[in-house]
Amino acid sequence: MILYGIPMPPSHNAAYAAMGIRGTAGKCFGKIRPTRVLEQYSEWFAAWALHNRARLAEVQRFVKDEILGRGYFIGIESVFYFHRASIFTLKGAPKMIDAANRLKVLHDCLSEALDVDDSLFWEGTFKKAESHRDDPFCVVRLYPVEHTRKGADATKERL
C-alpha cells in the first residue's frame, strides 16, 4: 500500500534539541527534547492525515489485517522527493542532504497515524528523488515482512 504526498519531515537534528553536557567531538550525553520545528511538522502531518483520512483508514486496515493479522512485520520503503535545485548544484554535483536523518520523524508520525508501534517497522529502504514541484514531499510503501523465530534465534547466537 502506498501513501503519497506526505509532507517532508525535518531532519532529526532540526526536530530534536540536546539537553545535556557536551562531550568530545560535540556529542551530547544527555536527553533530547522536541523542538518547535517538530511541533510544526506534527501539525502539517496532522493536516495531511486529515485530508487523506480515507486513504489512511484503508492503509490502516491493510496493515492490521493483511500484515500484522497474518503474523508479518511491516516493511517501509520511503522516497524523499526534492526539487532539483535542492539536491544538485548548478554543475550537477549532488548537494549534501542526509535523507536518512529524516526517517525517525517520518516513522514516528506514520506509526501514530496508523495506530501501530514503530518497533513493528521491521525493515525498510529510502532514497532521494528529483521532483519538479517546489515543495519537498515523500511517498511511502508499506509491505509485509516475514520473520521467523528460527531467524531470531540464529541472530541471537551470532551475537
Strands (E), the chain: 2-7, 16-19, 31-34, 73-83, 121-131, 137-145
**Rounded Cα gap, residues 137 and 63, in angstroms:** 22
**Rounded Cα gap, residues 67 and 77, in angstroms:** 15
Task: Render pLDDT for 134-150 as a digit per residue (tens, 0 to 9).
Answer: 999 999 999 999 876 55
**Rounded Cα gap, residues 32 and 66, in angstroms:** 36
Task: Decide which of 3.40.640.10, 3.40.50.620, 3.90.1150.10, 3.30.1330.70 is the CATH code for 2-158.
Answer: 3.30.1330.70
Neighbour-count burial of 135, counting CB atoms closer than 10 A to its CB (0-12 exposed, 13-18 middle, 19+ buried): exposed
Q: What is the pLDDT of residue 157?
A: 46
Q: What percent of the chain has pLDDT over 70?
A: 86
Give residue 28's region: left, alpha or beta (phi > 0; psi -120 to 50).
Answer: beta
> Strands 121-131, 2-7: parallel, antiparallel or unpaired by DSSP?
unpaired
Give me the mean pLDDT over the 69-77 stretch. Answer: 94
More confident residue, 5 or 23: 5
pLDDT value at 155 more than 60: no
| pTM, full prediction | 0.81
Q: What is the pLDDT of residue 23?
A: 58
Mean pLDDT of the chain: 87
Task: Render pLDDT for 74-127 as a digit per residue (tens, 0 to 9).
Answer: 999 999 999 988 888 888 888 888 888 999 999 999 999 999 999 999 999 999
pLDDT band (50, 70, 90) for residue 154: very low
Torsion of CA 71, 55, 9, 41, to 10 degrees: -120
Q: What is the pLDDT of residue 84?
A: 87
Q: What is the pLDDT of residue 85?
A: 87
- What are the extents of the domains in the chain? 2-158
